[in-house]
């Protein structure tokens, strides 16, 4: 239910705004990749302006996602280490032979 509300309240207005941008910016715009020779037709692309807008938005989302993923790497590594430690503690608690060598965790009293 929450997903449907989110879809209606966020993505439908966003889609309306993007469609309005696309309709308002249909004029072709030349984009030159070579800054030293702007007249070079091999490195000049002419597309509607909204295509460049959508490419810039998508590129920004990809770069932002990669930057977030990169910055949160240490937290993922810590979570993996804690998961491995928890699994080793569970294995130690299950096997009676190794229970002598490990320190037992206190049990919760009800």
Q: What is the pLDDT of residue 103?
A: 57
Q: How far is CA 98 from CA 25, 41, 57, 83, 102, in A?
A: 70, 74, 56, 20, 7
- Please tell me whether the overall predicted TM-score, pTM, comes out greater than 0.85 for this model: no
Both ends of the chain: CA-CA distance in Å?
A: 37
Q: Using the structure block, give the residue that is written with the tokens 């295509």.
A: 51
Q: How would you write the pLDDT of the chain (110 residues) with one tens digit per residue? A: 888 898 889 988 988 998 998 899 899 999 888 888 887 888 889 999 999 999 999 999 999 999 999 999 999 999 999 999 999 888 888 876 554 555 556 666 65
């Amino acid at each position: 239910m929450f997903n449907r509300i989110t879809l209606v309240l966020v993505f439908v207005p966003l889609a309306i705004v993007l469609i309005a941008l696309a309709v308002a910016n249909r004029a072709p715009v030349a984009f030159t990749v070579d800054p030293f020779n702007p007249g070079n037709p091999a490195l000049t692309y002419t597309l509607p302006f909204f295509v460049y807008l959508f490419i810039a938005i998508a590129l920004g989302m990809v770069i932002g996602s990669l930057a977030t993923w990169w910055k949160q790497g240490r937290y993922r590594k810590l979570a993996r280490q804690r998961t491995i430690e928890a699994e080793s503690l569970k294995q130690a608690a299950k096997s009676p032979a190794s229970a002598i060598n490990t320190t037992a965790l206190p049990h919760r009293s009800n």
